[in-house]
């Protein structure tokens, strides 16, 4: 990876960063419609515009219909797992991922998009980090902008190393190859750093971001990072690294200012950033619609897209059966596929175990906010970390505080050891269904993919099992990167 493979687009219209799909992206440094960073970073308003451009990329239309920033990638990450079930081939979108072929093809557009998406976020964050201190202005405001850019850089490297590297193993040297580290936008080819080196850079950036946020008093929309969401990212990283004490502490801190949603709110479609439980998310504007690129064009129950009409997404039948009848979450799926109270688009198909967790604005509008982090996840991280650390009573109490809000009949678990950990992990699967976590959870826990004995159909999925540790748990690097950067070693 090098900077002339990450074209910098600071568009005149709002200085929004954009991402195109032509091969020359790998070779050009500055297109004719770009504004140089020297011109941009002359004032704090311009720096804010640059940062807002990064926020916009998380939900913007950037290529094929499955490539709408982070909200599009979330679907890929769950399609690789066992909890989201495709009920038909639909119109083809996400089938390659569901069948474990897309991410194992170095020529696949999704592999290329995924790689470029996170590195372009990094390149744009690097420009902010490199220039913000040179701007004359309020120091707290500059710290705010820099902390958010550092968080983006850390999060993007974290996402990349989870996808393209082998899993981090706590207590090991982790000398296996990860991804190139980009902290400076350079024209020099960069080799893959080790997994340990990538995580060291991620934690370094997050430490600095948390420190800078400690000086910040301003508040922002949830589309922006703040000290809570940054600590939430750090909690994810610590959990993946097996640093149980840090993961539990950071997760507790991250959720401290947020309240769990009510049962009524739980059934409202997971589409509003105003939900008190949401810590970080995207808030697409009605003036900037993504139409058939939207998360809700693929995952909602009601939007009138071909994909929703023909391929309503369902929950793993075994997982559904673990949900208590008194749990509000049981109402998010229809095990019969015949419940006429479940919304579907005009002429839409019904399928057993189909979801209504996600609802778009209407059958004619795919608009909806997308959650990237909720307080519930932080409860689950804290509980899991405490259980791993052998603090069973504390873990059970944290789990209870979450689950009783979903199921008033739930009693605090008396399980210990692995039984308690498994209960926490099952609750995590139910709670975070469809929100883009399952592939990463299976990989970090070194668990196998197992879709057998469920409503996954062999004829659709093709792949029903993948052993833990198999090379297929790593994305291949895009061929376009290998063609211009001989220092990058391809995964097996």
Lowest mean pLDDT among 19-23, 164-168, 371-375, 391-395: 19-23
Residue 233: name the closest of 180, 159, 291 by CA. Answer: 159
List pLDDT tens digits, range 236-269.
Answer: 999 999 999 999 999 999 999 999 999 999 999 9
Place of tokens 């290329």: 112
With cut-offs at 50, 70 and 90, classify the pLDDT of residue 61. Answer: confident
- The DSSP-derived string for 11-52 is -TTTT-------GGGGT-SS-TT---HHHHTTSHHHHHHHHH
Question: What does the pLDDT read at residue 31?
Answer: 32
Give all strands of the β-sheet with 333-334 in edge-to-edge order: 84-85, 314-315, 354-355, 333-334
Query: Which H or E run contains 355?
Result: strand 354-355
Q: Are 441 and 84 in contact (CB under 8 A)?
A: no
- CA 109 from centroid of its chain's CA atoms: 19
**Which class would CATH give 3-258+434-484?**
mainly alpha
How far does CA 116 lie from the centroid of its chain? 15
Whether the per-residue pLDDT at 45 is higher than 60: the answer is: yes
Average pLDDT over residues 189-216: 98
Mean pLDDT for 273-300 is 92
Which residue ranges make up each domain of the chain?
3-258+434-484
Q: Is the pLDDT score of 20 beyond 80? A: no
What confidence tier does 36 reach under pLDDT thresholds 50, 70, 90? low
Q: pTM of the entire structure?
A: 0.94
């Amino acid at each position: 990876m090098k900077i002339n493979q990450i074209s910098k687009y600071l568009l005149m219209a709002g200085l929004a960063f954009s991402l195109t799909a032509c091969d020359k992206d790998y070779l050009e440094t500055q297109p004719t419609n770009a504004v140089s960073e020297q011109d941009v970073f002359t004032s704090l308003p311009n720096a804010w515009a640059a940062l807002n451009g990064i926020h916009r990329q998380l939900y913007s239309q950037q290529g094929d219909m499955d490539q709408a920033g982070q909200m599009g990638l979330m679907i890929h990450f769950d399609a690789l797992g066992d909890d989201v079930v495709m009920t038909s081939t639909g119109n083809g979108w996400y089938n390659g991922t569901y069948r474990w072929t897309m991410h194992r093809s170095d020529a696949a557009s999704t592999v290329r998009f995924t790689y470029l998406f996170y590195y372009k976020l990094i390149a744009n964050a690097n420009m902010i980090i490199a220039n913000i201190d040179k701007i004359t202005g309020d120091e707290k405001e500059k710290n705010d902008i820099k902390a958010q850019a550092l968080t983006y850089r850390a999060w993007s490297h974290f996402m990349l190393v989870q996808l393209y590297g082998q899993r981090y193993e706590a207590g090991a040297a982790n000398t296996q190859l990860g991804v190139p580290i980009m902290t400076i936008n350079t024209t020099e080819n960069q080799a893959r750093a080790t997994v340990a080196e990538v995580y060291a850079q991620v934690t370094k950036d997050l430490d600095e971001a948390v420190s800078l946020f400690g000086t910040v008093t301003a508040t922002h929309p949830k589309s922006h990072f703040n000290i809570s969401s940054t600590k939430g990212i750090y909690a994810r990283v610590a959990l993946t690294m097996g640093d149980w004490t840090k993961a539990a502490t950071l997760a507790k801190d991250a959720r401290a200012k947020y309240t769990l949603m009510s049962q009524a709110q739980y059934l409202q479609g997971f589409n509003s950033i105003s939900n008190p439980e949401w810590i970080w998310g995207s808030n697409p504007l009605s003036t900037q619609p993504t139409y058939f690129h939207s998360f809700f064009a693929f995952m909602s129950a009601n939007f009138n897209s071909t994909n929703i009409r023909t391929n309503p997404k369902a929950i793993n039948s075994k997982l559904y059966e673990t949900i208590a009848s008194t749990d509000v979450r049981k109402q998010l799926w229809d095990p019969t596929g015949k419940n006429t109270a479940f919304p579907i688009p005009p002429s839409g198909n019904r399928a057993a175990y189909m979801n209504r967790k996600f609802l778009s604005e209407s059958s004619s509008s795919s608009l909806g906010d997308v959650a990237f982090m909720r307080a519930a996840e932080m409860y689950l991280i804290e509980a899991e970390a405490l259980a791993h650390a052998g603090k069973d009573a504390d873990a059970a109490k944290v789990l209870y505080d979450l689950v009783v809000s979903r199921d008033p009949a739930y009693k605090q678990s008396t399980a210990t050891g692995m039984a308690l950990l498994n209960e926490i992990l099952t609750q995590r699967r139910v709670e975070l269904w469809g929100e883009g976590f399952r592939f990463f959870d299976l990989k970090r826990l070194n668990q196998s993919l197992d879709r057998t004995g469920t409503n996954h159909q062999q004829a659709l999925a093709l792949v029903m099992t993948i052993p833990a540790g198999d090379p297929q748990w790593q994305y291949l690097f895009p061929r376009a990167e290998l063609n211009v950067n001989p220092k990058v070693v391809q995964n097996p």
